[in-house]
């Protein structure tokens, strides 16, 4: 089978299938074999692993995953890529393409169905290794993290700016509600920085690969996870405003209620949301939850 890391070969395959690259679907195909190896290495794959890939594109990363994992299920939304994937992956007995929308897939159920329940809700945990479409990175991540799926490691390529946001610390401009959510569910670590020149066609931004290791136990104890995320979103809703004004502006409760909650938690109301740690957000959410329960 031909190598898929040569732009000339990629153009030939694309042209032979009459395929048109769709920017609307974030189709920028990674061609650098060295970076592909590093992505797979970062996931610590073994022959006992089931791996999901979202957006396999031409199957370049998929083929490398298949060398190290027991089975790879590649989810592709663009039906126009299916004939190409059949050509590039059809010879691999442990690689399977699933046509579908990743945002609508129950990955636990799919894992169970395709492995005779060895993986999934009643079986072993699986992994995600993917070059995510940049236009839909955040929704996919939140679907994977909040869906309750039996997923233990995610190694994903994304826009560098977004990757840095995921591991940002309190107090910086990159720290936001997405940082809090990802750090609540996982331990994030940027493992590779990727220039835009290694893609075909080249995107307008540089990329990064981040490894998200799923926490077995959340880092904070919450009365209500739903209330916690409501409070986090409210605190970041108006970044230029003080915490008391952002919380009040969210409509969750009156200024008087928030003032009382902040006094009880010992958090200065003139601080801004981006300065609060996960522990402080947890204290704020728990105190607020107790106040509304009476």
Q: Are 197 and 35 in contact (CB under 8 A)?
A: no
pLDDT of residue 6: 59
Tokens 């996982």 correspond to 186
Domain assignments of the chain as residue spans, ordered by start: 7-214, 225-293
pLDDT of residue 65: 97
Q: In Å, how far are 74, 116, 197, 207 from 135, measured between CA atoms?
A: 19, 33, 19, 13
Task: Give the pairing of strands 126-131 and 95-99.
Answer: unpaired
Q: What is the length of the chain? A: 294
Closest CA to 150 of 116, 117, 191: 117
Residue 141 is assigned to a ligand binding site: no
**Cα–Cα dist 33/195, whole Å:** 14
CATH 1.10.1760.20 fits 7-214, yes or no: no
| CATH code, 225-293 | 1.10.8.100
Residue 101 is assigned to a ligand binding site: yes
CA 86 to chain centre: 26
pTM of the full predicted structure? 0.90
Residue 55 is assigned to a ligand binding site: yes
Burial class (CB in 10 A: 0-12, 13-18, 19+), 114: middle
pLDDT of residue 224: 97
| Dihedrals phi, psi of 220, to nearest 5 degrees | -135, 155
Mean pLDDT per 10-residue interval, the chain, length 294 residues: 58 73 65 91 98 93 96 95 92 97 97 97 97 90 96 96 96 94 98 87 86 97 97 92 95 96 97 97 98 83
Residue 131 is assigned to a ligand binding site: yes
**Complete edge-to-edge strand list for the sheet that includes strand 207-214:** 95-99, 71-76, 50-54, 126-131, 151-159, 207-214, 186-194
Task: Give the pairing of strands 29-30 and 199-200.
Answer: antiparallel
pLDDT of residue 197: 85
pLDDT of residue 1: 44
Residue 76 is assigned to a ligand binding site: yes
Residue 28 is assigned to a ligand binding site: yes
């Amino acid at each position: 089978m031909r190598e898929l890391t040569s732009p000339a070969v990629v153009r030939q395959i694309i042209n032979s299938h009459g395929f048109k690259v769709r920017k609307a679907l974030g189709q920028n195909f990674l061609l650098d074999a060295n970076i592909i190896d590093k992505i797979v290495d970062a996931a610590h794959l073994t022959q006992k692993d089931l791996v999901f890939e979202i957006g396999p594109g031409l199957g370049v990363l998929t083929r490398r995953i298949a060398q190290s994992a027991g089975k790879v299920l590649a989810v592709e939304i663009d039906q126009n890529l299916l004939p190409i994937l059949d050509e590039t992956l059809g010879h691999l007995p442990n690689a399977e393409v699933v046509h579908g929308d990743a945002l609508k897939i129950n990955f636990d159920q799919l894992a169970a169905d395709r492995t005779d329940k060895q993986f999934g809700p009643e079986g072993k945990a699986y992994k995600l290794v993917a070059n995510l479409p940049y236009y839909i990175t955040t929704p996919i991540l939140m679907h994977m993290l909040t869906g309750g799926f039996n997923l233990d490691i995610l190694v994903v390529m994304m826009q560098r700016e977004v990757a840095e946001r995921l591991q940002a610390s309190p107090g910086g401009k990159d720290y936001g509600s997405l940082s809090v959510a990802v750090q609540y569910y996982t331990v994030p670590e940027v493992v590779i920085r990727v220039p835009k020149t290694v893609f075909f066609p080249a995107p307008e931004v540089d990329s990064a690969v981040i490894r998200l290791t799923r926490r077995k136990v959340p880092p904070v104890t919450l009365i209500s996870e739903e209330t916690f995320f409501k409070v986090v979103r409210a605190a970041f809703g108006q970044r230029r405003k003080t915490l008391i004004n952002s919380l009040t502006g969210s409509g969750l409760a009156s200024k008087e209620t928030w003032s009382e909650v902040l006094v009880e938690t010992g958090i200065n109301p003139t601080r801004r949301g981006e300065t609060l740690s996960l522990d402080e957000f947890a204290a704020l959410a728990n105190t607020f939850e107790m106040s509304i329960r009476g």
